[in-house]
Amino acid sequence: MAQESISRRDFLETTTVAGVGAVALGAAPASADPGGAQAAPGLAAAPAARGGLLYPRQNQHRSVLDLSGFWQFQLDPKEEGEAARWFDALPAPRTIAVPCSWNDLFDDARDYLGLAWYRTETWVPQAWRGQRVLLRVGSANYACKVWVNGQLVAEHLGGHLPFAADVTDRVAWDRPTAIAISVENKSLPDRVPAGPSPSGGLFAGLTGGYPATTYDFFPYAGLHRPVLLFSVPATHGA
């Protein structure tokens, strides 16, 4: 019996993109057998999507605002920014591109893996009133917190998956909405990939360079993928 051929690209899309998207957005994983999928009571079964679970798409039901571009940026080596409310205003900002790695842009941040802050302001379209508004961070390497108009809306650990937060109640309609994101990329043994063990031994660092790591690449830090605002109907599916 002839088997249906599948390309490597198709395989990766169906097993990686769709699967990761379902986990990242809190949806149940799709069934491997489309014919065996069961719809929730009262709901029609959704058609299989090619990579549609991971990335918000502009369509008749959803609107997407890409916040890629120039943001304010400041290093926080003393980790004083949260107590000083840097999410309201950075005291000495410079300009950075989002997405990017800060290690590639600034001489004084080339080897810096500690805490840093991003901040921007944007108008949210008035047409989105009455809908749910979500903020999606594609990648923040490695640990981050997100504030919208001075309110903490999300914390995330892991630089390799996106995450989203419902910010409907935090959006300002009569002025620009302020978004602040703090990011740090410390090399710790309980992260992925793991940093060196503080007790030494086999996992104390294998490369002999900076930083001391158990892997052979530099752990670039920052917002590595776009930050998006998107709207969905008040009643919507994942």
Q: Which residue has the higher pLDDT, 34 or 188?
A: 188
Residue 98, in any domain of the structure: yes
**What does DSSP say about strands 151-157 and 143-148: parallel, antiparallel, or unpaired?**
antiparallel
Residue 145, in any domain of the structure: yes
**H helix runs in 115-236, sequence order:** none
Counting residues of the chain whose pLDDT is more than 90, the rounded percentage is: 52
Residue 42, in any domain of the structure: no
- Give the pLDDT of residue 202: 47
Counting residues of the chain whose pLDDT is more than 70, the rounded percentage is: 66
Q: What angle do CA 161, 163, 165 make, to 5 degrees?
A: 175
Residue 49, in any domain of the structure: no
Number of compact structural domains in the chain: 1
Per-residue model confidence as pLDDT tens digits over 174-198: 999 999 999 998 877 677 766 665 5
Looking up residue 126, the CATH number of its domain turns out to be: 2.60.120.260
Q: String of b and e for 88-102 (b: at least 16 CB within 10 Å)?
A: eebeeeeebbbbbbb
Residue 100, domain extent: 63-185+220-232
Query: CA 18, CA 48: separation in Å to the nearest integer?
Result: 10
CB 85 within 8 A of CB 149: no
Query: CA 230, CA 48: separation in Å to the nearest integer?
Result: 22
Residue 52, in any domain of the structure: no
Residue among 2, 224, 219 nearest 112 (CA): 219
DSSP 17: I
What is the residue-wise DSSP string for 108-137? GGTT--S-EEEEEEEPPPGGGTTSEEEEEE
- Give the pLDDT of residue 219: 76
Residue 94, in any domain of the structure: yes
